[in-house]
Amino acid sequence: MTFLEKHILRQQQTKTQLCVGIDPDITKIPEYYHSLSNPIASFGKDVVEATSHIATSYKLNFAFYEQYGKLGYEALEKTIASIPKDIITIADAKRGDIGNTSKAYAEAVFTQLNFDAITVSPYMGQDSLEPFLAYESKGVFVLALTSNAGSFDFQRKIVDGKKLYETVIERCMEYNQKGTLGFVVGATHPAELAFIRASVPTVPFLIPGIGAQGGDAKETMDANNGGPAFFNVSRAILYPTMAYPSYKDAVRMKAEEYASLLPTI
């Protein structure tokens, strides 16, 4: 089964397009976790338990695990193991290097950790992406137009009469031999999202930026025009500010709120 087929089956179960992002931050998780042997692993387990009835996918942000060293790596392994097998897992790792090195990164994420998909950076070109695209059942989201302010610095520069991100998309589509390619397109630029979606109507998009970064769920859904998508919400679900009987309840309520804002078409 391809990662996209798995995703479609899962969307049919949940009726939503919500991707839950897990960015563990020890300074933001409830005090309760601090006394446990691996706070980040326990936090991740609780987030998965609170949201797995409604999440179509999980995006784990590698930086937030790596910042805790060995404990973080252990938490990453435990969290990925706790996710039910019918839910897509995305390694948000932004990898990319020369061919033989990208091959090792693909091995790390797809084989060692058994993620279904990864985010990669296009700057180093074709041979930096091909080792990821060689896996038939794994998804590869190439950074196109990211959600941050820095997306204005290089991604929109005009190259051959087009924006750099358009050139990236066109070239990467040529590398898409197995139909496993997707793009990262930020929710914070809905007009450009609509423009990009029109150019590649059937390619999966990972769309971060809804919630804490300011992207609006409805506007983003409209801009995406029904294309295959992973609408990611991280901080707005992980770190709810409302008072509920328990932290897990608060996370569940927030996830359900976003799931209802992101229905399948």
What is the 3 state secondary structure string of the chain?
CCHHHHHHHHHHHHCECEEEEECCCCCCCCHHHHHCCCHHHHHHHHHHHHHCCCCCEEEEEHHHHHCCHHHHHHHHHHHHHHCCCCCEEEEEEEECCCHHHHHHHHHHHHHHCCCCEEEECCCCCHHHHHHHHCCCCCEEEEEEECCCHHHHCCCCCEECCEEHHHHHHHHHHHHCCCCCEEEEECCCCHHHHHHHHHHCCCCCEEECCECCCCECHHHHHHHHCCCCEEEEECHHHHCCCCCCCCHHHHHHHHHHHHHHHCECC
Closest distance between a second copy and the C-beta of residue 23, in Å? 7
Residue number, 32 or 123, with CB nearest to a second copy: 123
Residue number, 214 or 226, with CB nearest to a second copy: 214
Closest distance between a second copy and the C-beta of residue 233, in Å? 14
Residue number, 8 or 164, with CB nearest to a second copy: 164
Residue number, 54 or 80, with CB nearest to a second copy: 80
Closest distance between a second copy and the C-beta of residue 14, in Å? 26
In terms of Cα–Cα distance, which of 43, 32, 41 is closest to 251? Answer: 43
Residue number, 17 or 146, with CB nearest to a second copy: 146
Which is the catalytic residue, given 45, 78, 94, 103? 94
Closest distance between a second copy and the C-beta of residue 113, in Å? 7
In terms of Cα–Cα distance, which of 220, 214, 211, 213 is closest to 240? Answer: 211
Binding residues vs a second copy (CB under 8 A): 23, 61, 63-64, 66-70, 72-74, 77, 92, 94-99, 101-102, 104-105, 107-109, 111-113, 121-129, 143, 146-155, 157-160, 164, 167-168, 171, 213
Is 138 in the active site? no
Closest distance between a second copy and the C-beta of residue 13, in Å? 30
Catalytically active residues, by annotation: 94
